[in-house]
């Protein structure tokens, strides 16, 4: 690779975008699925050597162990399959509020991926679990808490109905996050995805199946904008 911009660094298999935060406000994130353990480890370690806080997604335990051998400040959430090394802010500096609302315990891994992503980028997040429509009274019990959020991520597999129900009960934007949870006819999350895309409830946007990172990132952008507008309005 030749004639690369000054803000990049090339391996023989990847190009590190070391100044992405200067363009977008946030550093590059490492998607580890599909990469070899060695490729992911070299990218993460090199980014950290450059002083870049690193978030890695879809990380298996072997990679997390490899990183921990080199970088003692690593944090690994095995359920979320998220690794973070360094931080953009302390927990006390996180802003606003995002509610991540998961239909079932089986959706919890993807929900936690969204939580850890949004927290890494500086948002306060509350996680509300096991409030799917099969026991809809549990959702109603948590509505006062959910309604405090600037944006809501609704996480569900099966038929994905939770997102539409939530959107019909709140004033905040809802990000629908379909998961691959479900029996055969759910087609690995396709039924949930199509159900969320087809919902008649307004105010819903939809990310891809099992894309907890994408939902968390988008929710953080909305939450930070809401915080900025509130600060402007109220000084």
Q: Same structural domain for residues 179 and 123?
A: yes
Domain presence at residue 235? no
Which domain CATH number covers 194? 3.40.50.1970
Q: Same structural domain for residues 129 and 66?
A: no
CB 129 within 8 A of CB 102: yes
Domain that residue 40 falls in:
8-85
Q: Same structural domain for residues 201 and 97?
A: yes
Q: How far is CA 32 from CA 74, 85, 134, 164, 233, in A?
A: 15, 14, 34, 31, 41
CB 163 within 8 A of CB 138: no
Number of domains in the chain: 2
> What are the tens digits of pLDDT across the range 142-200?
999 999 999 999 999 999 999 999 999 999 999 999 999 999 999 999 999 999 999 99
Domain presence at residue 3? no
Of residues 39 and 18, the one with the higher pLDDT is 39
Cα–chain center distance at 173: 16
C-alpha to C-alpha distance for 173 and 153, rounded to whole angstroms: 9
Give the 3-state secondary structure of residue 97. strand
| Among 70, 85, 100, residue at a domain's last position | 85
> What are the tens digits of pLDDT across the range 73-106?
899 999 999 999 988 888 889 999 999 999 999 9
Asked if the model's pLDDT at residue 2 lies above 60, the reply is no
């Amino acid at each position: 690779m030749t004639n690369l911009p000054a803000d990049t660094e090339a391996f023989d298999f990847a190009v590190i975008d070391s100044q992405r935060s200067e363009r977008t406000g946030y550093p590059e994130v490492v998607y580890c699925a599909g990469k070899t353990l060695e490729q992911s480890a070299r990218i993460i370690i090199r980014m950290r050597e450059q002083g870049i806080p690193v978030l890695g997604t879809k990380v298996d335990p072997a990679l997390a162990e490899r990183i921990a051998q080199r970088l003692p400040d690593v944090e690994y959430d095995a359920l979320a399959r998220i690794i973070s090394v360094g931080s953009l802010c302390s927990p006390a500096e996180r802003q606003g509020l995002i509610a991540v609302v998961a239909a079932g315990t089986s959706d919890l891994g993807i929900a936690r991926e969204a939580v850890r992503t949004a927290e890494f980028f500086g948002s306060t997040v509350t996680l509300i679990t096991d409030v799917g429509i099969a026991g809809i009274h549990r959702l109603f019990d948590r509505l006062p808490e959910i309604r405090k959020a600037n944006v809501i991520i609704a996480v569900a597999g099966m038929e994905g109905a939770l997102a539409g129900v939530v959107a019909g009960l709140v004033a905040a934007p809802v990000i629908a996050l379909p998961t691959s949870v479900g029996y055969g006819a759910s087609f690995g999350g396709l039924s949930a995805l199509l159900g969320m895309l087809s919902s008649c409830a307004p105010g819903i946007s939809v990310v891809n199946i099992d894309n907890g990172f994408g939902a968390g990132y988008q929710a953080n952008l909305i939450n930070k904008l809401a915080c900025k507008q509130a600060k402007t309005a109220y000084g």
